[in-house]
Amino acid sequence: MEREFGHLVGGKDLDPEGERLLGEWAGRELGSDFVFVTKFPQAARPFYTHPDGEMDGVPVTRGFDLLLRGLEITSGGQRIHDPEMLRRSIEAYGLNPESLRAYAEVFRYGMPPHGGFAIGAERLTALLLGLSNVRMARAFPRDRTRLQP
Q: What are the tens digits of pLDDT across the range 76-133?
A: 999 999 999 999 999 999 999 999 999 999 999 999 999 999 998 998 999 999 999 8
Closest CA to 5 of 16, 15, 17: 17
Beta strands in 1-149 (DSSP E): 34-38, 51-55, 58-61, 63-68, 71-79, 114-119
Predicted TM-score (pTM) of the model is 0.81
For residue 56, the 8-state DSSP code is: T
- The larger pLDDT score, comparing residue 6 to residue 135, is at 135
Residues 48-66 have a mean pLDDT of: 94
Backbone angles phi, psi at 53, to 5 degrees: 80, -150
- The larger pLDDT score, comparing residue 12 to residue 142, is at 142
In this model, does residue 41 exceed pLDDT 70? yes
Q: Write a three-state SS string for 94-115.
A: CCCHHHHHHHHHHHHHCCCCEE
Cβ-contact 21, 7 below 8 angstroms: yes
Q: How far is the C-alpha of 25 from the C-alpha of 70, rounded, in Å?
A: 9
Closest CA to 118 of 72, 81, 82, 80: 72
Cβ-contact 104, 87 below 8 angstroms: yes
